[in-house]
Homo-oligomer: A and B are copies of this chain.
Amino acid sequence: MTQPMKRFPAASIDKLPEDIRTRLLAVQEKSGFVPNVFLTLAYRPDEFRAFFAYHDALMEKESGLSKAEREMIVVATSAANQCQYCVIAHGAILRIRAKNPLIADQIAVNYRKADITPRQKAMLDFAMKISRSAEEISEEDFAAVAQHGFSDDDIWDIAAIAAFFALSNRMANFTGMRPNDEFYMLGRLPK
């Protein structure tokens, strides 16, 4: 097994706090492997708990954005931040959620050219502005995305996901977090 991150020692699952160990084992049960983000962040249990609570609050809840659309935001902004772990791991999730084996690579390289709807293009324009130059966000940006039918709450979701992965991308680049080998092929072949 490759090391989950380059700069810090990997957590040993059986020495983790009970709640974290339980979560890791549940993920392993479901996915067949433990994504390295869990092993990496487990180095700091309190940060681990807050990170995944935040993640779940954005990515698992009901929203005007489909789960695939939320993963599009993750892939597009993580590519702009050159985050290897997030692009490759969430690219896999996007392929699965969108049931589309091509979409993640397209969005990762240049979302403007991807096979997405104008509504999704507007969503990603807004997400990219939050990710790259949130200080310039303006009424025009809100109007541009709202005219595609996104509610205020949907727009919060777009912004919050872009903001959360601004954190996540930085931690992954800092720790040298590696995508597990399993992610590269997930969702590429028809079931």
Across-interface contacts of A82 in B (CB, < 8 A): 109-110, 135
The A interface is mostly helix, strand or loop, or mixed, namely helix
Option from B57, B105, B142, B163 in Cβ contact (under 8 Å) with A167: B163
**Oligomer copy total:** 6
- Cβ B188 vs Cβ A171 within 8 A: no
- Judged by a CB distance under 8 angstroms, whether A81 is at the interface is yes
- Judged by a CB distance under 8 angstroms, whether A24 is at the interface is no
Q: How far is the CB of A102 from chain B (nearest CB, A)?
A: 6
Q: How far is the CB of A167 from chain B (nearest CB, A)?
A: 4
Q: How far is the CA of A156 from the CA of B177 in the complex (A)?
A: 13
Across-interface contacts of A68 in B (CB, < 8 A): none
- Judged by a CB distance under 8 angstroms, whether A173 is at the interface is yes
- Judged by a CB distance under 8 angstroms, whether A35 is at the interface is no
- Cβ A170 vs Cβ B174 within 8 A: no
Question: How many A residues touch the partner, as a band?
Answer: 35 or more
Q: How far is the CA of A114 from the CA of B189 in the complex (A)?
A: 24
- Judged by a CB distance under 8 angstroms, whether A159 is at the interface is yes
**A interface, CB within 8 angstroms of B:** 7-8, 43-44, 46-47, 49-51, 53-54, 56-58, 61, 79, 81-84, 87-88, 91, 101-102, 105-106, 108-110, 112-114, 130-131, 134-138, 142, 152, 156, 159-160, 162-164, 166-171, 173-174, 176, 178, 181, 184-185, 188-189
